[in-house]
Structure 1
Amino acid sequence: MWRGSAVWRGSAAWTLRSRMLPDARHHPASALGPIASARSPFSAPSASASAAGPAVAEATAAAAAVSQRAGSVSDVLRHYGRCYFELSKARLSALVVATSGAGYVLGSGNMVDIAGLCCTCAGTMMVAASANTLNQVFEIKNDAKMKRTMQRPLPSGRISPSHAAVWATSIGAAGTALLFWKANGLAAGLAASNLILYAFVYTPLKQIHPVNTWVGAVVGAIPPLLGWAAASSELSWNAMILPAALYYWQIPHFMALAYLCRNDYLAGGYRMFSFADPTGKRTAWVSLRNCLYMLPLGYFAYNWGITSEWFSLEASLLTLGLTIGALSFTLEPTPKSARRMFYGSLLYLPAFMAGLLLHRLPNEQKEHNVTQMSEIAGVLYGAEQQNERATKKREDRKPSRVQSRPPVAYASVAPFPFLPVPVYVSPQAHEF
């Protein structure tokens, strides 16, 4: 009963609706008319949107192209910046800059020229980066055979050798020119000679003879001399303390490294001292001998007037600790003892340089040169002043041919240019 009534009510409603609304199949225009009339107020914006569609699409495409171009430029800069960073061996170059800066401070007098120190460090950094880049340009094939170097920019193909060579040449020339301009010719000459020694002597020698380790130690000892020369414009025996420490320190440092990485160096084709020493005894003895050479350096620094007596004690204790590590390596030449001595050498150098700078005394030769130059400048200035006074006296004796004007005339001209200049009549004019 309920279902029948529901069907009847549905059919009745459909009949009423068909009478009120026309059939869309038979009267399509009349069926769409109300809908079109209802949408007619919004027809204008839709037309404008369709007209503005190409402009919006063009602007969007242009913005996408600009962002893509900016992204590509940033990617290129990031890529080459990373390559330059790795080619320059930035951490090793930073150590070279630190030793050069320490030499500059040691070679200074009571006052350290901060601007000169910054220019010296910047020039040293550029020259060191150039030398490290050239080293990798010459050793592409060797680096490709070693596990710890095969991912460098040149063996991995991330940058071309010609590009790296141009980068090294330009930055090396710029660093040498900066040192010549802001420091002196002696500092620039030391930088250029060290670049040539590292790139064109030490680098090929690594594949010829084990003496390359001692040549490399000379290369590492020159930056403190460079800094001293930049500060004092000369070299003396006092300038040899830090270079000597660096020279003797590098031997046990690199001997331990060559012992730990001898298989890798052998695969790369490098001639190291540890290759002919399978037991490691000779390598350990060389390390111990050079540690003993460093023991009196603290006393020499105090005796020559470079530092106070406290540094003599501190340097002796530091060197004694490194010597104990070398002695342990000598008694038991194993990778563990070699690694212990290697890490000890990494701690020794910054501690030694920090003590050297903390207890340093002003460079007496630098102070003497400054005083002498001041005296010469004072004599020259006094002579100039005396000549000026004599000239002024001669001019005062001469009769004045120009009559002086009252101050108010000048006051009315200079501070107040809009006021009329007072007219002064000479007494002779009234006589006529």
Structure 2
Amino acid sequence: MQDIIGTGVRRHHDNLLQVFRSYYQLTKPRIILLLLMTTIAGMVLASHGRVDPVLALATVAGGAMAAASANTINCLYDCDIDYIMERTRSRPIPSGRVQPRDAALFAASLAIASFTLLATFANLLAALLAMSGIVFYVLIYTHFLKRHSTQNIVVGGAAGAIPPLVGWAAVTGDLGWAPWVVFAIIFFWTPPHFWALAMMIRDDYAAVGVPMLPVIEGDEDTARQIWLYTLLLLPLTLLLVYPLHVSGAIYGATAIALGAIFARKAWQLLADPHDREKARSLFKYSISYLMLLCVAIALDCLPLSQHVTSTIAENLPQWLGAIGPM
């Protein structure tokens, strides 16, 4: 039998599978999947599409455990407001299925395992970057910013932007301009993504006193901020093509197409900021946007893709000449 102090809720698990499911839910696996996509993008960029399988597996596993540790601590820290909010009341800690002490031990074990795995199979820089992500997310975002500043998401977004640095460092042992550009892409992607969600569930945040931008400044100002960050985001995505030249035509075309859709949805929300369906549409698309952008980075780095684009570039003048004036 498990008890959560302050909620008066008691729950128990009927079998081992339910225990596993509860701890799995503590890690917020859907968030981890997105973070791992950016980690892989960083590795693929650094290795030019030739990632060592053992290194890739170790880095992905270590990154997943670091993210899981941070998310578990976040659940532990926020269990009081999670119990009040309808959307989060069924999470393992506020629902009484996992004790805070057990969640803390679980998070610590994940962090230790992550550091050990990355330091052993990758390098110390990758391990330290992963740990910095945990510290920044828990200490800076969750503790200092989330309940005290409307800019919580903006500054806190740096924590979610660290995984591509981990991926790049795992391959190279250092950091260059390219991973920092990917970092910046995720950093500027975060406010439109989370503020769109905050607009959808503004009443929940207001009920627990979390000063999300829509709660404090209103939907109109939030929509303007989303539009501004979207405009800043889109040019950043093209820096990988020029002047860095680490990505090519496949990625560039994909970034432009995805960015145009992103801008259109942000503009629609700006035109009607009180429409929560438009906020929902932008929020859902933002997830697909980042995942597809990472897929485009990976595809563009594959040797076959590079060969195809190189062949097209070399033969394009000849093909255009052949279909010229008849």
The normalised TM-score by structure 2 is: 0.84
Whether 1:236 aligns to 2:236 is no
Secondary structure of the residue aligned to 1:295 is: helix
Identity of aligned residues (%): 37
C-alpha contact 1:180 1:188 (8 A) present in aligned 2: yes
Q: Who is 1:264 aligned against?
A: 204
Q: Who is 1:152 aligned against?
A: 91
Q: Who is 2:213 aligned against?
A: 273
Whether 1:358 aligns to 2:299 is yes
Whether 1:219 aligns to 2:159 is yes
Whether 1:116 aligns to 2:55 is yes
Whether 1:308 aligns to 2:248 is yes
- Paired letter, 1:116: L
Distance 2:96 2:114 in 1: 27
Q: Who is 2:287 aligned against?
A: 346
- Paired letter, 1:335: R
Q: Who is 2:70 aligned against?
A: 131
Distance 2:284 2:77 in 1: 29
Choose 1 or 2 for highest CA Rg: 1
Distance 1:89 1:239 in 2: 25
- Paired letter, 1:207: R
Distance 2:205 2:63 in 1: 28
In structure 1, stretches of 5+ residues that fail to align are: 1-73, 363-432
Q: Who is 1:77 aligned against?
A: 16
Output aligned runs, 1:367-406, within 5 Å. Answer: none
Distance 1:350 1:171 in 2: 25
C-alpha contact 1:108 1:231 (8 A) present in aligned 2: yes
Q: Who is 2:146 aligned against?
A: 206
Mean Cα deviation higher: 125-134 or 211-220: 211-220
C-alpha contact 1:298 1:311 (8 A) present in aligned 2: no
Q: Who is 2:115 aligned against?
A: 176
Distance 1:298 1:126 in 2: 28
- Paired letter, 1:122: A
C-alpha contact 1:198 1:216 (8 A) present in aligned 2: yes
Secondary structure of the residue aligned to 1:153 is: coil
- Paired letter, 1:114: P
Deviation at 1:239, TM superposition (A): 1.6
- Structure 1 pair 155–228 and aligned structure 2 pair: CA distance change class (3 A): same
1:206-262 per-residue CA deviation (whole Å, 9 max, x = no partner) reads 111112111221111110111000011110112223222211111111111001101
- Paired letter, 2:228: R
Whether 1:105 aligns to 2:44 is yes
Distance 1:253 1:345 in 2: 6
Q: Who is 2:8 aligned against?
A: none
Deviation at 1:297, TM superposition (A): 2.9
Distance 2:97 2:250 in 1: 51
Secondary structure of the residue aligned to 1:294 is: helix
In structure 2, stretches of 5+ residues that fail to align are: 1-12, 304-326
The normalised TM-score by structure 1 is: 0.64
Q: Which residue of 325, 336, 351 corresponds with 2:265?
A: 325
C-alpha contact 2:119 2:127 (8 A) present in aligned 1: yes
| Aligned positions, number | 288
Secondary structure of the residue aligned to 2:301 is: coil
C-alpha contact 1:296 1:316 (8 A) present in aligned 2: no
CA RMSD, 1 decimal:
1.6
C-alpha contact 1:87 1:136 (8 A) present in aligned 2: yes
- Paired letter, 2:295: A
Q: 4+ runs of 1 displaced by more than 3 Å?
A: none
Deviation at 1:110, TM superposition (A): 5.7
Distance 1:130 1:99 in 2: 18
Deviation at 1:335, TM superposition (A): 1.0
C-alpha contact 1:308 1:361 (8 A) present in aligned 2: no
